[in-house]
Structure 1
């Protein structure tokens, strides 16, 4: 794996993501319900105002895919949507062992979602190398993985 760029903070992560999907027309974020949903909405926020189709798909349940739409409160899930896309973003929560999503099954789903796309892009977005440490690149042909580290400090004033 080659590091092609580095950045800091959420802003840096979002900027790098926006650059990677610049030529994408339809983007389907796949992640766990609750934990990954806000990250998909956050990443979609930097694409507001574009004509890109944005969809969130929970786990392996493509029949529950929903549009990600702008609202006065940011980006939120909307109506049921077709999750077919030219770009799939796999969120790291999927790889957490307690979630139970098998990367082999995810690979089949990703192939199905992208079967009609001429140009295909698969991006992983995770914290603390979750996708890498759980060997998802051994099962899914990622083009890029955005891997962030997070340090937390609780300060008493």
Structure 2
């Protein structure tokens, strides 16, 4: 893969994601399925979901790589997008792998994620991570990413 552009801030992460999904040829009701770590990835998934809320797709969250635990992502008035308690069958047209899955100490292996992705042949695969996590964990060669968005949180300043 080659660097397409370098952006900044939260819009720099959200705009290319939305542009990619707009150009992906998705039909109404097609699924965008996010695989990520409960707690840490979930807020970013809801943020990404909010950015594409006007697209006619169904959005689904899968904790780690456990599709049996999949949940719908729905708009909540005055709040944004949130993972709901409603289970849903997983049939992705686009898989979004969150970088938290590649972090050390996470209870899922790269091979387990590869296995789940492999059950959906022909599906587009998007990777969204922070601080070069897919590169550091050796995931760049393990998945056939159609798009990678790698955001950097630097510096992080704390005032007191």
Q: Which moved more, 1:63-72 or 1:134-143?
A: 134-143
Structure-1 residue corresponding to 2:42: 37
Structure 2: distance between partners of 1:84 and 1:135: 27
Match of 1:137 among 140, 146, 157: 140
- Deviation at residue 133 of structure 1 after TM alignment: 0.9
1:65 positional shift: 0.4
**May I ask how many residue pairs the two structures share in their alignment?**
152
2:151 paired residue number:
148
Shift of 1:58: 0.2
Secondary structure at 2:140's aligned position in 1? helix
TM-score (norm 1): 0.91
SS at match of 2:92: coil
Q: Which runs of 5+ in 2 are unaligned?
A: none
User: 1: distance between equivalents of 2:37 and 2:47?
Assistant: 15
Work out the CA distance in 2 between the residues paired with 1:82 and 1:60.
14
Report how far residue 49 of structure 1 moved: 2.7
> Which ranges of structure 1 fall in alignment gaps of 5 or more residues?
none
Superposed CA offset, 1:14-46 (max 9, x none): 001101111333200000000001111100001
Aligned to 2:93: 86
**1:57 matches 2:97:** no
Q: For residues 62-96 of structure 1, what are the alpha-carbon distances to aligned partners after superposition, in whole Å with 9 as ceiling and x for unaligned?
A: 11100100011110112111121010000000000
Q: What SS does structure 1 have at the residue aligned with 2:15?
A: helix
TM-score (norm 2): 0.89
Runs of 4+ aligned structure 1 residues displaced above 3 Å come to: none
| Equivalence for 1:76 | 82
Q: Deviations over 1:86-139 (max 9, x none)?
A: 100000000001103211111110121x24x5xx31011000100111001222
Query: How far is the alpha carbon of 1:48 from its aligned partner?
Result: 1.1
